Chain A
Amino acid sequence: MENAALLDVRAVHKGFAKADGAETVVLDGVDLTLKEGEIVGLLGRSGSGKSTLLRLIAGLSEPGGGSIRYMGRPVDGPPEGLAMVFQSFALFPWLTVLENVEIGLEAIGVPRDERRRRSLEAIDLIGLDGFESAYPRELSGGMRQRVGFARALVVHPNILLMDEPFSALDVLTAETLRTDFLDLWSEGQLPIKGVILVTHNIEEAVLMCDRILIFGSNPGRILREIRVDLPQPRARLDPDFRALVESIYVEMTARRPTEPASAARTERFPGSGIGSVLPRVSTNLLSGLMELVDAAPYNGEADLPVIASALHLEVDDLFPVAETLQMLRFAEFAGGDIKLSAEGRHFAKLDTDERKGLFAKHLLTYVPLAGHIRRVLDERHSQTAPWSRFADELEDYMSSDDAARSLRAVISWGRYAEAFAYDDDTMVFSLDNPGE
């Protein structure tokens, strides 16, 4: 007995025009259905387009292709019956709690007395009693997000859209808020019929969702759908729960060589050409992770979820580090595990200067952009080259933001490796040794 779909997203495509007329694809071929009584999670790393999809559903921006239908009608602007909860709460700082909650009702023309009654109900439901006349600045983060929830619920939406609603909160507060929300949801106290939750926290997705859609990047698309059949309330230490979390880690770290290639698209394998977008990862994190995995009890091979909780890092923070190590051939990263290569284990045992030497060798060999910069500098008589020389070249493959990010990343690695120098005032690369 399938319920009717609240929301139906078909083959949605979204891109942004670049300066040269080409398109950066943010979302491609996305299908999604939300049925009554479901919480669907959109799980992925930053840049996978999951927040963009949420904004398309909310009617805030327009898809480049495909269709979005809410209760059978196409979405052509923010529809009545959809409400959103924001990562940074997005409360109006100059309105009191009550006024913040009321504003959505005022906007759709609900009479004053009814507005007041419904707002007080929502405030009551979400546990904000007594804070009606407080300003957001007087509240803690957790209380602010409660206002965010009350403001969304007061319009009695059919679908609640949540954009990483707990990620700006501390661990304990986030857990309390999640539990409170799930309690209200399972008791049927919330006036909503379905929820879409955007998150990059794997455990949060497994804890809250009935279905999880895993998003991949470049372009953003749905890689897999995972059904979570564990009964609510779910326990994080339950073996089934752990197994599911582990399998999602494996899913998210899997290589996907069958990627359809397209000329405008960035290359798939990190570091396989200068067209790859490089993540800004600090060399401290790189050597820190190598040291940790090299040492007991991991002895060169570790489970990513274990590492993540040991380091209190989220997927978004940990994956780029592991991927960078893989790009530098210091580690293998697949199946939810990280395994140091022989060089990686060797690196962990060296002193600072020797590390720099080894790092420089790997950087120039395996990161094409670094090798390219070094070659250009070596070839030039002046041994200098301006930032724009490389930025222009990269912008053939990626947006100017990504080009700048990649250059910043390679500059910080190049500096650590002492492979080349960069002067930010003049924006010039050189082979100068800044120590001289």
Chain B
Amino acid sequence: MTLSIIPIAAHRRLPRLGVWDAVAVALAVGLLAALAAASHGIAAPLPASGAAITLDPWALPGYALRTALRMLVALALSLLFTLIYATAAAKSRRAEIVLVPILDVLQSVPILGFISVTVTFFLSLTPGRTLGAEFAAIFAIFTSQAWNMAFSFYQSLRTIPTELTEASYSLRLGPWMRFWKLEVPFATPALIWNMMMSMSGGWFFVVASEAISVGNTTIALPGVGSYIGLAIEQRNLAAIGYAVLAMLVVILVVDQLLFRPLIAWADRFRFVQETEAAPPDSWVLTTLRRSRLVEWLVTPVGRLWAWSYHAAPKGRERMPLPPQQVVRRRLGAPDLAWRAAVLVGLTWVVWQIVRYVLSGVAPAEVLTPVIAGGLTLVRVMVLIALASLIWVPVGVWLGLRPKAARIAQPIAQFLAAFPANLLFPVAVSAIVALRLDPDIWLSPLMVLGTQWYILFNVIAGASTLPTELRDIGTSLHVRGWLWWRKVALPAVFPFYMTGALTASGGSWNAAIVAEVATWGDKTLRAHGLGAYIADATTAGDFHRIVLGIAVMSLYVLILNRAFWRPLYLFAERKFRLN
């Protein structure tokens, strides 16, 4: 770090171009070209079903670009949504009592089942145009990315240290300036981590949302997802391989161009700084930072931003009570009226859903998805238990060996992005050849993508185990099973709970894809709620889709409230180190 920034800032010389500028220009032009290529054809008329997709591997780079662009647009929308929604929830108590439960429900709703509904909606907005299908796909990806980001931002806003908030009020920062100078920076590290998770989760939805048939309408947007869909339909194993390769490349490129720089840049926003670990770095960020051209371009934007603080209302209001000091007192009339209005609205919505479902489904049939849900529940729990048996020991082993963890992390991250459909060929062929029971052997597909959350979190937990605790274990000769029982498992338990909770939620969603597997003309079906929703989607039966989704949402909500959350709180209380 040089001290030169202060005097130079006043009378800066003209930027002198250097090698970093060349790299920056190359990056920028490359991105622009990619953008132009990818957006070409968005406004084109909707192609006849599936005709536009080809399995030619040379078409894949273009498809990959379109897919990546969709995911990035969805990510940008998720970010915008997060900033607005979570801020409203954290700032207004009245908004909070509505927005937070909604977010909680949205997080548990299997949006995958809703894709057919949204596709129909967006297509009706722009009849006959690809744009509507694009919107639908982007919306589907958005719904897989936004909720956890919003939750993380909301949590961060509520945990800003009181003294920092006091300082911001005492210094008379207005609301706008406080948002960008205190609240957003404080929330940034957690938000970026969640954006990465969202991006991984998004792949699952890309495959499901790019190529979809609702009733008689089949839509195939050019993209990796449609490519995979067609490959499965035509039983083209080589094409599946190319698709996996394309995904890998996209994941790596997005990681290098977007997430590495973001993580390196966000390092300074971390509130607690551990000194030993080397700060993350990124060649892209270094390029951008050292390039005078970039600096020359960015400075006016910074000035404009600073001007917005100046233009925004000045702060001279009192500070609201910090959340931990707010006491529940008797509610005033406006609060009661608000709550009553919320309750009425809620009842109306529930009534509308019930009415809609019953207009197409006989009351006696309502039990079918409930029973199917029970089967899926058994699958989810057994699989989470099995995945835990495997990944907890592996995670502990890796977490205690930072070098090994550094190699394993990105691999696990890639595997977490891996959509279950890609394993259909293997799964279906094996089940058919070995005459296995699909009710059992299709199940592993459900945890294919979600089990990694367990591994991530256990690695994180084991790596925080203090050296003293490990040393005392060694010095007391605590070994073998005793060591696992008394040292390792309690230490990683709270982290494991976070992972298991996420994995469980994701597995329900995955059931919609995983309980019905197709490879060419062979279709295998397991009994379960996921299959129920998938079948209703294929048949274009919206009444049963809504019913299936409502039942699945209830299952997830009840499971979270009655099982995961109490266990999670117990783990927090008993095992959290400090």
Contact = CB atoms under 8 A, between A and B. Distances in A.
Interface of A: 16-19, 21, 55, 58-62, 76-80, 82-84, 86-88, 90, 92-95, 98, 103-104, 106-109, 112-113, 116, 120, 130, 132-135, 137, 151, 155, 425
Nearest to B310: A109
A109 B314 contact: yes
Given A84-B170, A107-B171, A19 B163 contact: no
Contact of A86 (B167, B319, B328): B167
B16 interface: no
A133 B161 CA distance: 24
A17 B269 contact: no
Interface string B358-394: 0000000000000000000000000000000000000
Q: Which residue of A62, A87, A112 has the most chain B CB atoms within 10 A of its CB atom?
A: A112
30 contacts: A16-B325, A21-B329, A59-B318, A61-B318, A77-B318, A79-B316, A80-B172, A83-B170, A83-B171, A84-B167, A86-B166, A86-B167, A90-B163, A92-B167, A94-B268, A103-B173, A103-B181, A104-B171, A104-B172, A106-B309, A107-B173, A107-B309, A107-B314, A112-B306, A116-B6, A116-B10, A130-B3, A133-B3, A133-B6, A151-B171
Given A59-B170, A90-B163, A116-B9, 15 more contacts: A16-B325, A21-B330, A78-B169, A78-B315, A79-B316, A80-B316, A86-B166, A90-B166, A92-B181, A92-B185, A93-B270, A94-B185, A103-B171, A104-B171, A106-B309
Contacts of A61: 318-319, 321
B318 A108 contact: no
Q: Which residue of B181, B318, B329, B574 has the most chain A CB atoms within 10 A of its CB atom?
A: B318
Interface string B317-337: 111010001011110000000
Interface in B496-520: none
B318 A60 contact: yes
B182 interface: yes
B185 A133 contact: no
A137 B273 contact: yes
A132 B3 contact: yes
Contact of B172 (A78, A95, A120, A134): A78
A90 B167 contact: yes
A113 B316 contact: no
B172 A17 contact: no
Contacts of A103: 171, 173, 181
Contact of A90 (B2, B164, B574): B164
A31 B567 CA distance: 51
Contacts of B177: 106-107
A92 B182 CA distance: 7
Contacts of B173: 103, 107
A6 B268 CA distance: 40
Q: Name the interface size band of chain B.
A: 35 or more
B61 interface: no
B315 A107 contact: yes
A97 to B, nearest CB: 11
A137 B279 CA distance: 13
Nearest to B5: A133
B174 interface: yes
A76 B161 CA distance: 24
A109 B5 CA distance: 22
A107 B271 contact: no
Contacts of A58: 166, 170
Contacts of A106: 177, 306, 309-310
B174 A107 contact: yes
Nearest to B315: A107
Given A88-B163, A90-B163, A17 B169 contact: no
A107 B163 contact: no
Interface in B1-31: 1-3, 5-6, 9-10
A138 to B, nearest CB: 9
A425 B574 contact: yes
Nearest to B6: A132
B329 A94 contact: no
A54 to B, nearest CB: 10
Contacts of B268: 93-94, 135
B318 A19 contact: no
Contact of B163 (A16, A86, A137): A86
Q: Which residue of A58, A79, A82, A93 has the most chain B CB atoms within 10 A of its CB atom?
A: A93
Interface in B246-277: 268-271, 273
Nearest to B166: A60
Q: Which residue of A98, A113, A133, A425 has the most chain B CB atoms within 10 A of its CB atom?
A: A133
Nearest to A109: B310
Contacts of A78: 169-172, 315-316, 318
A98 B2 CA distance: 13
A108 B172 contact: yes
A113 B9 CA distance: 10
B170 A19 contact: no
A18 B327 CA distance: 7
Contacts of B174: 107
A18 B170 CA distance: 27
Nearest to A138: B1
A326 B10 CA distance: 66
A80 B321 CA distance: 21
A78 to B, nearest CB: 5
Contact of A77 (B161, B181, B316, B330): B316
A90 B194 CA distance: 27
A55 B166 contact: yes
A98 to B, nearest CB: 7
Nearest to B174: A107
A323 B126 CA distance: 77
Contacts of B319: 60-61
A403 to B, nearest CB: 14
A108 B170 CA distance: 11
Contacts of A112: 306
A82 to B, nearest CB: 8
A68 to B, nearest CB: 12
A165 to B, nearest CB: 12
B573 to A, nearest CB: 9
A382 to B, nearest CB: 24
Nearest to B9: A116
Interface string B564-578: 000000000010000
B272 to A, nearest CB: 9
B246 to A, nearest CB: 37
Nearest to B574: A425
B328 A19 contact: yes
A133 B172 contact: no
B181 to A, nearest CB: 6
A426 to B, nearest CB: 12
Contacts of A77: 316-318
Contacts of B166: 55, 58, 60, 84, 86, 90
A55 B162 CA distance: 12
A279 B309 CA distance: 46
Contacts of B314: 107-109
Nearest to A135: B268
Nearest to A134: B1
A55 B309 CA distance: 25
Interface string B146-187: 000000000000000101101101111110010001100100
Nearest to B1: A133
A70 to B, nearest CB: 13
Nearest to A136: B273
